[in-house]
Structure 1
Amino acid sequence: MHPFSKVDNSRTLRLVWPQWQGAGRDNISVLLPEYSYSFARRGYETGAKILDAILPPHAGPTEVVSVPDVDDEGVMGGIESRSTVFESLGNALKALDKHDAERVLTLGGECSVSVAPFSQLAAKYGDDLAVIWIDSHPDSDTTETNYNGYHAMALSTLIGHGDQEITATLPATVDSSRVAIAGLHAWEEDAYVNVDKWGIRAFSPDDLRDSTQGLVDWLKSTGASKIAIHLDVDTVDSDEAALGLGKVPGGLTTAQVQ
């Protein structure tokens, strides 16, 4: 019997969050120059809806986060579309507050959709929660780094180094000693500096190809019995399958990610 078959899905919340506004103009324009900015950016919204449609029916509660239909808001306080992602975050927190969920399955959407549910779980489980952030990128930008897309600030926000007003709305943050990035191999230098400065443990694809024992040993060292797992599909080697918005070669294979 698969261990997940014993999970009580009535206590698992499925959170569908089709937010796209966290993706920045500079990134989208470079990665998908053949499409208009507004069209390409909406790919995150489409992805969330596709995931919700193809996954098996869910026996527990489901919430769909309301996302303002606003695009190209510009940059404020170092964050593109700041007021929109802030409003959407508030909507997600309200949806989460309706349920005393033991687990949350979030379908997004760009990377910042992990912030609210992970924060809610951190408030529930405290130091007993560790985070494994499976991503080619560190998502450790801040309002002080060069890139303004909020999706690249997701992990920074979750560990308390994000925009002060946004971070203040979260029910809890996660100490960086209980956060590891798995599959990291693509970054801008100013964002990667934060990974080292904040003490986040990082595992490259080469660290994990033959064995995940190093990651398992790190997890044991945290003392946490609960894990929140973020998965960005761009972790998969784009030479095998270009699943993310941008092609990032040299990542993990689909089998290794599984």
Structure 2
Amino acid sequence: MTKTIRLIAPDWQGGNKQAYYFGAELLSWLAPNHNSQKEITLDIEKPKNEVLEKENGVVAQSIVKQNVSMAAEVLKSELPDKIITFGGNCLVSQAPFDYLHGKYGKDLGVIWIDSHPDVSTPKEHHHEHAMVLGNLLGAGDPELSKIVEFPFDSDQFLYVGLQKPLDVEVELLEGLHLNYIVQDKENLKMGEI
């Protein structure tokens, strides 16, 4: 039998937006829960209107790294076949995708749907949520990319829905050899994807 878990990851520190904590809870509440799916909520500290400090050019880097590591440990303990992740920001995808890549290897492909690239480094951006895809490819934030156990190859991703990227983002996307489609019109036909 296939084991599916619902992982509630209310990380707000990766984007430094306190509303992200509530967003994870709201998404999990909105999505129908099946009684065969175990729901696990990561023990991430609720925001308290505190100011988060930069570490190595990244806001709350050590806290964010701890949150990703916590998710990875839960997945190693639960050993799911499928993961439904509800999170506050894009960073919550790092541990689930890393785990699934370890489980399925080159048979795993990812269609990444987002309006902005998540391939930045601390040089271009200071919030971790903008680096998660780079981390999964062994680039991004050196501190978080080194905890990725099963780095992906760029040909395992298709990036869909990007708004016109900035020149520096184009350089990063092309430097990582990522396939991407810029969403420059209202609707894409299936053949365009």
Q: What TM-score does the superposition give when structure 2 sets the normalisation length?
A: 0.90
Query: Structure 1 residue aligned with 2:6, among 10, 14, 17?
Result: 14
Counterpart position of 1:171: 149
User: Bigger radius of gyration, 1 or 2?
Assistant: 1
Distance 2:138 2:90 in 1: 16
Go from structure 1 to structure 2 and tell me whether the alpha carbon gap of 1:174 and 1:207 turns closer, same or farther (over 3 Å shift): farther
CA contact (8 A) 2:164 2:184 kept: no
After TM superposition, give the deviation of residue 64 of structure 1 in Å: 0.8
Unaligned runs of 5+ in 2: none
Q: Report the AA paired with residue 62 of structure 1.
A: E
* 1:65 and 2:57 are equivalent in the alignment: no
For residue 101 of structure 1, give the secondary structure of its aligned residue in structure 2.
coil
CA spacing shift, 1:86–1:210, aligned 2, 3 Å: closer
CA RMSD across the alignment: 1.9
Q: Contact conserved, 2:164 with 2:182, CA < 8 A, in 1?
A: no
Letter of the aligned partner of 1:53 in structure 2?
A: W
> In the alignment, which residue of structure 1 is the partner of 2:135?
157
Q: Which amino acid aligns with 1:190?
A: V
1:197 paired with 2:186, answer no
Q: Which amino acid aligns with 1:44?
A: Y
Matches within 5 A, 1:33-182: 41-58=17-34, 59-69=36-46, 71-145=50-124, 147-182=125-160
Name the structure 1 match of 2:15: 23
> Can you give the 5+ residue segments of structure 1 that lack an aligned partner in the other structure?
1-7, 25-40, 216-258
SS at match of 2:78: coil
Partners of 2:66 and 2:45 lie apart in 1 by 8
Runs of 4+ displaced beyond 4 Å = none
How many angstroms does 1:206 deviate by? 4.1
Aligned-pair CA distance for 1:108: 0.7
Return the TM-score normalized by structure 1: 0.69
Structure ranking higher in helix proportion:
1
1:218 is matched with which residue? none
Q: How many correspondences in the alignment?
A: 190
What SS does structure 1 have at the residue aligned with 2:162? coil
- Aligned mates of 1:160, 1:188 — CA distance in 2: 22
165-174 or 48-57, larger mean C-alpha shift: 165-174
